[in-house]
Amino acid sequence: MAVLAPTSVSKYSISNSSSSSDFHRIPFNTRPIFGSKLKSGKVQPTQLRLLTTSDNCPGLTVKASRESLGITEQHKNIKLERVAETDDRSELFEDMKQRFLDFKNHKYMENLEHYQNLAKGQAPKDMSFICCLPQSGVECQGEYVCVLMFLEQFMVISCADSRVCPSTILGFQPGEAFIVRNIANLVPSLESGPSETNAALEFSVNSLKVENILVVGHSCCGGIRALMSMDDEIEKSSFIQNWVVVGKDARSWTKAAASTLSFDQQCKHCEKESINRSLLNLLTYPWIEEKVKQGVLAVHGGYYDFVECTFEKWTLDYKEGNLKEKHGRISVKNHLFWS
């Protein structure tokens, strides 16, 4: 922030017919309003003086005055220090700039029509794009054949962990998935009240008409570890505890079913169990359950183990009569393992 020079403010008439000797000055008080910090650690006061006249006039004159001869040199030193600090940080953003330009030149410009369509709105299952695939014997812009494709839109709920970006792991391109990331990829139940996650659910299901919801968990999840570590009594001042408690059912079931395992193994168990609980919580929203029942919306679980670089995927097998069981176990289908 730039150092502001001490100022005094005068208010006076700007009438062309008046001279400075015609002004009737009203008494005023001078008091410090802020100051700049000197090398000695003391604060140099800045005086604000407001001079008014008998005329109702908006004209203001700002007069600069300085009470310390050393402040100019101090200002120069501060400026040099801050330039050096900016230079250090600029290297980080210079790298970011190069990555952006690489995206622009090698993805955006090469698929300009697709990105222009995205600018009109996000509804990729209703939009088409051209995918060029190598195919010998067929020419289309050289050695490629253009294929018209239609997408089914996904909503993805994943963890905010920097190691598990769903676009990187699963290759989602702009316009293909509506992505929400939160601590421990949790889905709160309807009774939990408003949150960013269920607001996004309402928008994606009712407005974007997504056909798939995918909840993606992962290995070594700090949010699940916090859930498993917390006491039964929640600290009201802890935002983390007040959020991860959404997964309390998964925690309780894990501690009961895996009590003989080590804490790390229990956490891994809970990482997967919390995904299934989130799938059940999705069905507490009537407008989601109704679409699942009709078969126009499917809900899936996914688990990314970035230690082994494997991915598990499964789909909730909707059976209305079995969803309210005491232990809340779910039936799944299409369980796949990618390695």
Phi, psi dihedrals of residue 158, rounded to the nearest 5°:
-135, 175
218 is known to lie in a ligand binding site: yes
Token pair listed for 296: 């126009």
19 φ/ψ sector (left φ>0, alpha ψ -120 to 50, else beta): beta
**Is 231 within any annotated ligand binding site?**
no
| Structure-block tokens of residue 320 | 């209305």
- The span from the CA of 97 to the CA of 91, in Å, is 10
**Cα 7 to Cα 1, 33, 231, distances in angstroms:** 17, 10, 57
**44: three-class secondary structure by DSSP:** strand
* Amino acid, single-letter form, for residue 87: D
Provide the sign of the torsion angle of the four alpha carbons 290, 191, 303, 127, taken in this order.
positive
Cα–Cα distances (Å) from 223 to 158, 202, 255, 310, 315, in that order, read 12, 24, 16, 20, 23
Give the 3-state secondary structure of residue 287: helix
Ramachandran quadrant class, 90 (left: phi over 0; alpha: psi -120 to 50; beta: rest): alpha
Q: Residues 6 or more apart from 257 whose CB is under 8 A from it?
A: 269
Long-range contacts of 199-203 (CB under 8 A, 24+ apart): 200/155, 201/155, 201/282, 201/285, 201/288, 202/285, 202/287, 203/178
Alpha carbons 191 and 162: distance in angstroms, whole number? 30
- Residue 161 annotated in ligand binding: yes
Q: Is 106 annotated as a binding residue?
A: no
- Annotated binding residues for Zn(2+), as ranges? 159, 161, 218, 221
- Annotated binding residues, as ranges? 159, 161, 218, 221
